Structure 1
Amino acid sequence: MRVFHYCQSITSRDAIGYSTVRLHAALLSAGVESYLVCNDHNRPLAPAGTLALKDLAELLPTRRDVIIFHYSFADNDTDLILRFRAKIILVYHNITPGHFFRAHGQDGLANACDVGRAALPAIVQRADICIGDSDYNRTDFPAGARVEQTIPVFYNDRFFRPSAADHERFLKVGSTGAVNLTFIGRLVPNKRIDNVIRVAGAIKNTIGMTPNLRIFGKIWDREYFRYLENIVLDLGLETNVKFEVNQPGAELRAALASSDAFICMSEHEGFMVPLLEAFTAGCPVVGMMSTAVTETCGPAGALLPAADVEAAAGMAVALKQDRESRMALIRSQSRRAQAFAEGQTWNKWRMVLEDFVPQLRNV
């Protein structure tokens, strides 16, 4: 039997792509015949050895084989995947509802999201087992879904542990007296980066301290990016906010390790890996209870019940000034991150896959 990991796009810098590759590598290490598969037009960007969908069709998957279908966006090849005779394990990473994008004039992206969500019931009906990477994601499954499970994504828990250089950077940056803030994520409306910027504005214009906010992400829509830039100008934050586009992972880790707080005001998340990266790097998380943000943070993180930018600003400043509270939060976050360690996630996958891959029972 063979295991095929299908995701329409697989890139190592994407959280879903990393998780897909990591599961594939774990199966290979266990002696399982395992393959990565992506859409034909995305093949040039995928890791070496990844099959195109046309290659999978030529391999003629049988009922002895397993396709792990990672679903996170509308995919024109969904019908083809569902027609293969192989057993299907659905891994649902959530699709953001279209209204978040439509409110900012991104109708094309909004429509694609709604089409993707509308296709979910047919995938669930065909799947042999349905997995969400959070309990929140599983709430999108229609009634009758087969054997639901929650297994979090893999994230690079080793890479985001701070190095000695990161600790030195924190001491250097912290000595400036500014309140250093970080956000990591796609520059899209549901993440409410506008409110992240407003937190920095409240620190400067209400509390009277100097904020330094670094926003790491990828620009998806130029108009929305200009909207964010205009908020920066309106709040007089031209020297306080910096957009960091497509930075390497080492720079993200260093920013987290040297920040006073990671600010999250997102209104919709299916999981949000950067929260765990902040936990691992020792960066306090200040944010808002919302969707899977609350679930991912669990008992850790300083989460507010509503989108109160002034309260978030005050909390970030307090964590900078009160070392005891800061260290208590960091310790709580570190304990929470251990629940998502790669070994823990692999154990959950192995227990599920033993019913599909008999040789894993002896691993």
Structure 2
Amino acid sequence: MRIVQILPVLAFGDAVGNDTRALKDALLEAGYETEIYAAVIDERLPQGTAQPFDMLEKLEDDDIVIYHLSTGHKLNYEIEKLGGKKVILYHNITPEQYFKKYNRDASSSCAQGIKAAKRLAKIADYAIADSAYNKEDLIRYGFTCDIDVLPILIPFEDYEKKPNAGILRRYDDDYVNILFTGRVVPNKKQEDIIQAFYYYKNYINPKSRLILVGSYAGIDKYHEQLEAYVRELGLTDVIFTGQIKFDEILAYYHLADVFLCMSEHEGFCVPIVESMYFNVPVVARDTSAIAWTMGGSGVLLPDDDPIMAAEMVNRVLTDETLKEKILKNQRIRLQDFDNQKVKTQFLQIIDKIIQGK
């Protein structure tokens, strides 16, 4: 019996790719014969991390296929042709409307992904969602098979690596650093973070900066609009890092005083868990999967009111008792994402699939 993971693109450093590789390691540790197959494999990954999809050999009835679904791709329609038990691992697909004004290809890819999800619902023997919100998505798409919720397997050991010294020297001062990490894309609503920062900097604390970490490749028009918005507001101390190296990302987490998320659509939101790991208090808008990922910790905002967001950031940073309570609850929630705990849950799911339960 083999267990193969398949996905359209195995990228370097993204949440889906990291999860796929971590699950492979867990299967190998448990003694399973396993491999990753992808249509596109990032050249920055170590040799032997995965194999091209067209190298996949015929699968037997007792083999298990884990297909990572997160976008539209022709590979979505190849899975039903394969043998073995078919498991769909769903990482969420962003609704197409967020990209319509900015990137037609991205919008089309999202639409095609949702269309494929509805087709895959008919052939799935089992499904895994990486949040309760994503499980609800699958049910809406027509999945009637058993669905388990399994958090993303996050490589916390990587976060112990040395942060970029240059970044630390540049921004380690008496300014409050408000951080958000994530691709600069419309669903993440960076404009709402900028608006909240405008109020915070102008009416609460002028000695503050906003750091927006994330690539804007492919959605340049949205990034340009955000830059224009910053200029229109007359704001200073707003930093768009673009795509940066991992040690630089680590440095910004070390520098952060608070993590502010105003995103409108998230399937999981790994940066929230990363902030918990770095003991950074999280203030986030209560949308999509955010509340599930926070798990009763951090601070949830009921809407996108920028004044409320700014005032809450200020309260978290000035009320030491509240801040310590938030951090304590975040440390408790962080335990649910412990590598060994998630690996155990994953292997229990695999055993259930093998046993046909």
Give matches, 1:102-113, under 5 Å: 102=100, 104-113=101-110
Q: Retained in 1: the 8 A contact 2:267–2:288? A: yes
Distance change in 2, residues 1:105/1:244 (3 Å): closer
Q: In the TM superposition, what whole-angstrom CA distance separates every residue of 1:102-142 from its partner, at most 9, and x where no partner exists?
A: 2x342321122111101112112211101111111111223
Q: Retained in 2: the 8 A contact 1:10–1:47? A: no
Runs of 4+, deviation exceeding 3 Å: 41-47, 158-166, 355-358
Give matches, 1:2-81, under 5 Å: 2-39=2-39, 41-42=40-41, 44=43, 46-49=45-48, 50-56=50-56, 59-81=57-79
What letter matches 1:217 in structure 2?
G
**Mean Cα displacement is larger for which, 14-23 or 317-326?**
317-326
CA distance in 2, matches of 1:235, 1:269: 27
CA distance in 2, matches of 1:218, 1:165: 18
Give matches, 1:215-234, under 5 Å: 215-219=212-216, 220-234=218-232
What letter matches 2:222 in structure 1?
Y
Aligned to 1:121: 118
Per-residue deviation, 1:18: 0.4
Q: Retained in 2: the 8 A contact 1:98–1:113? A: yes
Aligned to 1:158: 157
Structure 2 SS opposite 1:269: coil
Structure 1 SS opposite 2:74: coil
Aligned to 2:342: 345
Structure 2 SS opposite 1:277: helix
Q: Retained in 1: the 8 A contact 2:133–2:267? A: yes
* TM-score using structure 1 length: 0.90
Per-residue deviation, 1:250: 2.6
What letter matches 1:152 in structure 2?
P
Structure 2: runs of 5 or more not aligned:
none
Structure 2 SS opposite 1:230: helix
CA distance in 2, matches of 1:46, 1:37: 13
CA distance in 2, matches of 1:326, 1:161: 24
Aligned length: 348
Structure 2 SS opposite 1:355: helix
Per-residue deviation, 1:232: 1.2
Per-residue deviation, 1:47: 4.2
Aligned to 1:361: none
Structure 2 SS opposite 1:122: helix
Aligned to 2:96: 98
Q: In the TM superposition, what whole-angstrom CA distance separates every residue of 1:296-343 from its partner, at most 9, and x where no partner exists?
A: 001111111000111111121222222222222111111111111111
CA distance in 2, matches of 1:247, 1:329: 29
Identity %: 29
Aligned to 2:317: 320
| Aligned Cα root-mean-square deviation (Å) | 2.1
Q: In the TM superposition, what whole-angstrom CA distance separates every residue of 1:184-235 from its partner, at most 9, and x where no partner exists?
A: 1011000001111112111122325232111111113111110111111112
Structure 2 SS opposite 1:7: strand
Give matches, 1:178-327, under 5 Å: 178-219=175-216, 220-237=218-235, 239-327=236-324
Q: In the TM superposition, what whole-angstrom CA distance separates every residue of 1:45-81 from its partner, at most 9, and x where no partner exists?
A: 554221111101xx11111211110000001122222
Structure 1 SS opposite 2:13: coil
CA distance in 1, matches of 2:52, 2:45: 9
Q: In the TM superposition, what whole-angstrom CA distance separates every residue of 1:129-185 from its partner, at most 9, and x where no partner exists?
A: 01111111111223452111111111123333698999xx69x83x51x22111110
Q: Retained in 2: the 8 A contact 1:260–1:319? A: no
Q: Retained in 2: the 8 A contact 1:210–1:240? A: no
What letter matches 2:14 in structure 1?
D
Structure 2 SS opposite 1:153: coil
Structure 1: runs of 5 or more not aligned:
359-363
Q: Retained in 2: the 8 A contact 1:179–1:317? A: no
CA distance in 1, matches of 2:142, 2:96: 22
What letter matches 2:210 in structure 1?
L
Structure 1 SS opposite 2:4: strand
